[in-house]
């Protein structure tokens, strides 16, 4: 059983460019959350997708957008890249099964991350 897979593992982009990162959740999971982890910091929540919709969003600008596909995989897009966007981007999958009814997952399984460097 494959865990959470992310691609690519490393990426170098130039300021102003756009980037797309991809995540396939763990089998049986329907919810994908994206986190940004800067050097020396804990992961910061970007947003969460469930049933192909963005359900929750952290304090990130609109340059950060995403998508979830019918097979539950997800993409994170960042436009107009800034040097400060350089970070490890983590995808976490979980099974919320009705987040609007207050059920949450007590576990989130993380991928290895995509290391984005903006030069």
Residues at the interface with other proteins (CB under 8 A): 4, 6, 33, 35, 40-45, 48, 55-56, 58, 90, 96, 99, 104, 106-113
Minimal distance, residue 16 CB to other proteins, in Å:
28
Minimal distance, residue 15 CB to other proteins, in Å:
25
Strand 64-68 relative to strand 87-94, pairing? unpaired
Of residues 50 and 78, the one with the C-beta less far from other proteins: 50
Of residues 84 and 101, the one with the C-beta less far from other proteins: 101
**H/E segment holding residue 66:** strand 64-68
Per-residue HEC secondary structure of 49-62 comes to EECCEEEEECCCCC
Of residues 87 and 96, the one with the C-beta less far from other proteins: 96
CA distances from 36 to 28, 29, 64, 70, 98 (A): 24, 21, 11, 24, 25
């Amino acid at each position: 059983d494959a865990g959470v897979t992310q691609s690519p593992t490393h990426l170098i982009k130039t300021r102003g460019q756009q980037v797309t990162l991809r995540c396939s959740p763990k089998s049986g999971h329907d919810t994908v959350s994206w986190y940004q982890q800067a050097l020396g910091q804990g992961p910061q929540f970007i947003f969460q997708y469930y049933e192909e919709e963005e359900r929750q969003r952290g304090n990130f600008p609109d340059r950060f957008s995403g998508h979830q596909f019918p097979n539950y995989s997800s993409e994170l897009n960042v436009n107009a890249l800034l040097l400060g966007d350089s970070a490890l981007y983590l995808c976490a999958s979980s099974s919320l099964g009705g987040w609007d009814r207050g059920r949450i997952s007590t576990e989130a399984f993380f991928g290895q991350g995509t290391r984005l460097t903006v030069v």
